[in-house]
Chain A
């Protein structure tokens, strides 16, 4: 079964505010994590990734935090814009690089203008 889950299925934020999307994982052997953004009717797009030897990684307006102690992953989006409205998935790679990623169910982010 799935080992990756999300705390919140939907999230509504005001335009310009920061968004935080959370993800819990259960496999302590997972060594690589990815966040994807999926707009309606499209394939998931890579946003940012992080390896297990890091606890924070920043991209353009996005930051991923990894807390291995509690097996928690979060995606922070700064100054959320209407174009950020989408479903966000976390995914984990459990050990071997040949193992398929395991995906969480997703969080829908709605940005209120």
Chain B
């Protein structure tokens, strides 16, 4: 099946711990995105990447880091510097360089212990 996968579905973080959320796509999309969604809220952009080995900060990048070593993978690390990490994290991808639809993964819910 083609699509975007995110893992795990639920993730628990302890105080001072870094955790990494996985996002993989087999759609051959160039651009990938990470969004944060708080309860009853819209989507806020954390980081995005238009090509391999390149990425840009979004509106709320503080406390997060990313890498884009492979076209199909865009992992997000929530660092200990992110003081309020509890949220629903969504990964998306699209064909690069054109105004086209972004497709979303199923999301990862991060909870703090």
Write the residues of chain A forming the contact surface with B, with a CB cutoff of 8 angstroms. 2, 31-32, 34, 36, 41-46, 49, 51, 89, 91, 93, 97-98, 100-101, 103-106
Contact = CB atoms under 8 A, between A and B. Distances in A.
B63 interface: no
B43 interface: yes
Contacts, number: 53
Interface residues of B, number: 27
A85 B58 CA distance: 30
B106 A98 contact: no
Contacts of B105: 43
B33 A100 contact: yes
B26 to A, nearest CB: 16
Given A44-B90, A103-B42, A105-B42, A97 B106 contact: no
